Amino acid sequence: MSLSIKEKRQVRIVFLGSAGVGKTSLIRRFLLDAFDPKHRRTVEELHSTEYEATCGTQVKIEILDTSGSYEFPAMRKLNMQSGDAFALIYTVDDPESFENVKRLREEILETKGDKSPPIVVVANKKDSAGDPKVSWEEALTTVELDWNHRLLETSAKENLNVNEVFRELLREVNLPSRISPALRRRRETVPDAGSHKPPMNKTNSCNIS
């Protein structure tokens, strides 16, 4: 499912995953280019920023950071209903967090009633010491071959592929992935144009100036 800017001027990205997988750290790294090693439990936090297209359209991007510690099924379902794109986060050192990603994906599909909602799966904490406990080959087979979603390895600590997560999510909803010059001056963590995967070309989309 893709949305053009003309069709929708506000997009909500929902981050889901177990407690401690780094949802907040990834968002903080993207928005503030900062990393806090201390884990703080999140109930729910909504962040927003604006993109400006060359056609003059203002596009509001909302990033919803959800809880992994507290079980609120009704709230989780509501977040899935309101989300336009989803980042499902697990950590390479916690197999159970990957199993939770599988459960969350099934719940998203059931809630949205759509077999192809925009989803990016994120294997976070690539910087963790020791051998990964979640096989990359197995995860890649499941996510990209079986599910047909993008799988990315990230490290919020080392700022590895953090921008790529957001760039891919914006592609999934057919939004340009470059921020307006004004915002770029305030934050130097803007996704660059060096991605190996070109943006989707849609005739109804505007470009970011």
Beta strands in the chain, from DSSP E residues, in sequence order: 10-17, 44-52, 58-66, 85-91, 119-124, 150-153
b/e per residue 34-63 (b: at least 16 CB within 10 A): ebeeeeeebeeeebebebbbeeeeebebbb
192 HSE (CA, 13 A, CB side): 6
Fill in the amino acid letter for 7. Answer: E
How does DSSP assign 141-164, residue by residue? IIIIIIS--EEEE-BTTTTBSHHH
Residue whose structure tokens are 């003309």: 6
Write down the pLDDT at residue 207. Answer: 43
Please give the structure tokens belonging to residue 58.
Answer: 């203002």
**For helices 95-112 and 73-82, what crossing angle results, to 10°?**
60
Of 70, 69, 111, 66, the residue nearest 87 (C-alpha): 66
Write down the pLDDT at residue 8. Answer: 55
Cβ 108 vs Cβ 81: under 8 Å: no
Length of the chain: 209
Write down the pLDDT at residue 39. Answer: 65
Q: Residue 182 class from Cβ within 10 Å (0-12 exposed, 13-18 middle, 19+ buried)?
A: exposed
User: What domains sit in the chain, N to C, each tagged with a CATH number?
Assistant: 10-186 (3.40.50.300)
- Give the separation between CA 148 and CA 116, rounded to whole angstroms: 9
pLDDT along the chain (209 residues), means of 10: 56 93 92 81 81 67 84 84 95 94 95 86 86 90 95 93 91 63 40 36 40
- Give the separation between CA 62 and CA 112, rounded to whole angstroms: 18
Write down the pLDDT at residue 123. Answer: 96
Within 8 A by CB and 6+ apart from 17, the residues are 23, 68, 88, 89, 90, 97, 100, 101, 104, 122
